[in-house]
Amino acid sequence: MSRSAGAIDPSDVSATSRLRADLASRILNLLKDQKAEPGHRLVECELCRHFGVSRTPIRGALQLLANAGTVEARANRGYVLLHPVREAPEPPALTEQGEEDRELLVRIARARNSGLLPDECSQQEMVRHLDVTMATLLRVLRQLADLGLVERKPGKGWIFLPAIDSTRAQEESYAFRRVVEPAGLLAPTFELDWQWLERSRAQHQSFRKRRWRDTLAVEFFQMNADFHEQLARCSGNRYLLGAVQGQNRLRSFLNYHWVHGVPRVIASIEEHLAIMDALADGRNDRASQLMLDHLASSSRTFSPMAPSPKIPA
């Protein structure tokens, strides 16, 4: 079935590009950050500059949001926000960003856990086993390689590194972060981003008030990741930042299900707030200590005998 050339067919959701879907979701986040009210006008050029892309994908993203009913298009006058942006920046059927990729990621994880996929394996075998195109497989393998979960063998083929989701790996991850993150707060080049601090504080506080629902898990995770990453950024050390970002990516891949349990979530938020308070007072030494404690208690939550966490459902 050939798609008509020229005009974009907005109803064909499955065909939207990664970039557009991604932008759609980031636009929502932006609106939420800005606390945009219904009626808020979305100016294309601004969004362009903000995200560093051209108008074309921005328009695509807005189109997407229009289909989802979040915004409305007015002829010759651009897009306007319809409803207030609620919680859940995770747009259900919208984050098809790498829908294909994500799905493959999960399938690989499954195949590995069930032993269908051996430790060492050539690309083509995977293509046959998993029934995907070479292109998508390569994209995903590169992602996994970036995360350090898989490596190329010298000649040909790939090798899955052992114990991806093991308790051991989690403990190592926390141990690493206990080294890096508190040190970041003590760096002589540390410079607090006050604007961010205020926003994040508010976000944490509002989160604390809400009643917990499982749908909040993703949002919590993102807030959490953002917290740690921003602080690393303030350290003024690019390598330190890189290390934290890497850990975040790894976690976001492995951790959709590390559901901490509600009490731990609450405690986590309190600890974050305490750290921010200390930083606001210029007590970086104290903040550093609190960060260390925070990571220690977080890790303790899992370590006893983490239930065999096997990759997303």
Binding site for DNA (CB under 7 A): 3, 5, 8, 15-20, 41-45, 53-57, 59-60, 73-79, 122-125, 133-136, 139, 153-157
Helices 216-234 and 262-280, interaxial angle, to 10°?
A: 30
CB within 8 A of 1, min separation 6: which ones? none
Cα torsion angle, 16, 17, 22, 23, sign? negative
Say how many Å lie between the first and final Cα of the chain, rounded: 33
**What does 309 interact with, of DNA, a second copy, none (CB < 5 to 8 A by kind)?**
a second copy
Q: How many residues does the chain have?
A: 313
Nearer to a second copy among residue 112 and residue 178 (C-beta) = 178
CB of 141 to a second copy, least distance (A): 13
Nearer to DNA among residue 96 and residue 181 (C-beta) = 96
CB of 72 to DNA, least distance (A): 11
Q: For the chain, what is the largest distance between any 2 Cα atoms, rounded to a whole number of angstroms?
A: 64
Residue type at 12 in one-letter notation: D
Paired tokens of 155: 């000649």
Nearest to 244 by CA among 167, 185, 161: 185
Q: How far apart are CA 222 and CA 191, in angstroms?
A: 23
CB of 166 to a second copy, least distance (A): 11
Contact residues toward a second copy (CB under 8 A) are 19, 22-23, 51-54, 57, 146, 148, 153-155, 169, 172-173, 175-176, 179-180, 182-183, 186-189, 236-240, 242-243, 246-247, 288, 307, 309-312
CB of 155 to a second copy, least distance (A): 4
Nearer to DNA among residue 46 and residue 193 (C-beta) = 46
Nearer to a second copy among residue 25 and residue 203 (C-beta) = 25
Nearest to 106 by CA among 142, 157, 150, 140: 140
Nearest to 132 by CA among 102, 92, 157: 102
CB of 250 to DNA, least distance (A): 23
**What does 68 interact with, of a second copy, DNA, none (CB < 5 to 8 A by kind)?**
none
Question: Which value, to the nearest 10 degrees, does the dihedral of the CA atoms of residues 53, 57, 59, 63 take?
Answer: -140
Q: How far apart are CA 13 and CA 132, in angstroms?
A: 20
CB of 107 to DNA, least distance (A): 17
Nearer to a second copy among residue 203 and residue 247 (C-beta) = 247
Nearer to a second copy among residue 19 and residue 197 (C-beta) = 19
